[in-house]
Chains A and B, each alone.
Chain A
Amino acid sequence: MHISEGVLSGPVLISGIVMAAAGTGIGLKKLNYDGIPRAAILSAAFFVSSLIHVPVGPSSVHLILNGLVGLILGWGAFPVILVALVLQAVFFQFGGITTLGVNTLIMGAPAVFCYFIFGRLAGKGPRLALPAAFACGALSVFFGAVMVGLALTFTEGNFLTVSYLVVIAQVPVMIIEGFITLFCVAFLKKVKPGMLPGHSL
Chain B
Amino acid sequence: MKTFFLVSSRFHPFILGAVFLTSLCMFWPSSAAAHRVSVFAWIEGDTVYTRSKFSGGKRVKDGDVLVYDLNENHLLSGKTDELGEFSYKIPRKTGMKIVIKAGSGHRGEWSIPLHEVEGLSGPEATSIQPQEAASTTPGEAAALSRIDLDELRRVIEESVDSKLKPVLKILIDTQEAGPSFRDILGGIGYIFGLMGLAAYIHFRRKVSEAEKEKAGSSIHAK
CA distance A52 to B33 in the complex (A): 8
Interchain CB contact under 8 A, B35 and A62: yes
Interface size for B (C-beta < 8 A) is 52
Residue pairs across A and B with CB atoms within 8 Å: the count is: 159
CA distance A166 to B101 in the complex (A): 15
Interface size for A (C-beta < 8 A) is 55
Closest Cβ of chain B to A27, distance in Å, is 12
Interchain CB contact under 8 A, B62 and A58: yes
Chain A residue nearest to B107 (CB atoms) is: A4
Chain A residues touching B, majority SS: helix
Q: Contacts A51-B31, A62-B35, A184-B16 given: A4-B24 contact, CB under 8 Å?
A: no
Q: Taking the complex as formed, is B13 at the interface, i.e. its CB lies under 8 A from any CB of chain A?
A: yes
Q: Contacts A92-B34, A166-B104 given: A59-B183 contact, CB under 8 Å?
A: no
A:43-76 near B, CB below 8 Å: 43-45, 47-53, 55, 58-62
Interchain CB contact under 8 A, B104 and A152: yes
**Residues of B contacting A33 in the complex (Cβ-Cβ under 8 angstroms):** 198-199, 202
**Residues of B contacting A51 in the complex (Cβ-Cβ under 8 angstroms):** 24, 31-34, 179, 184
CA distance A188 to B17 in the complex (A): 12
Interchain CB contact under 8 A, B198 and A94: no
Name the one of A3, A36, A166, A169 contacting B199, with C-beta atoms under 8 angstroms. Answer: A36
Q: Taking the complex as formed, is A20 at the interface, i.e. its CB lies under 8 A from any CB of chain B?
A: no
Q: Contacts A45-B17, A45-B20 given: A59-B188 contact, CB under 8 Å?
A: no
Interchain CB contact under 8 A, A40 and B179: no
**Residues of B contacting A34 in the complex (Cβ-Cβ under 8 angstroms):** 202
**Residues of A contacting B71 in the complex (Cβ-Cβ under 8 angstroms):** none
The digit string for A15-40, where 1 denotes a CB below 8 A from any CB of B, is: 00000000000000000011111111
Supply 8 A–B pairs (Cβ within 8 Å), ascending by A. Answer: A4-B106, A4-B108, A7-B106, A48-B188, A59-B54, A91-B183, A94-B36, A191-B9
List 17 additional contacts besides A4-B106, A38-B17; criterion CB under 8 Å: A2-B36, A36-B202, A40-B191, A45-B17, A49-B24, A51-B32, A51-B34, A55-B58, A58-B58, A58-B62, A60-B56, A91-B186, A92-B34, A92-B179, A93-B34, A165-B103, A187-B19
Chain B residues packing against A (C-beta within 8 Å)? 5, 9, 12-17, 19-21, 24, 27, 30-37, 54, 56, 58, 60-62, 99, 101-109, 178-179, 183-184, 186-188, 190-192, 194-195, 198-199, 202
Nearest 3 A/B pairs, CB to CB: A41-B17, A40-B195, A3-B105
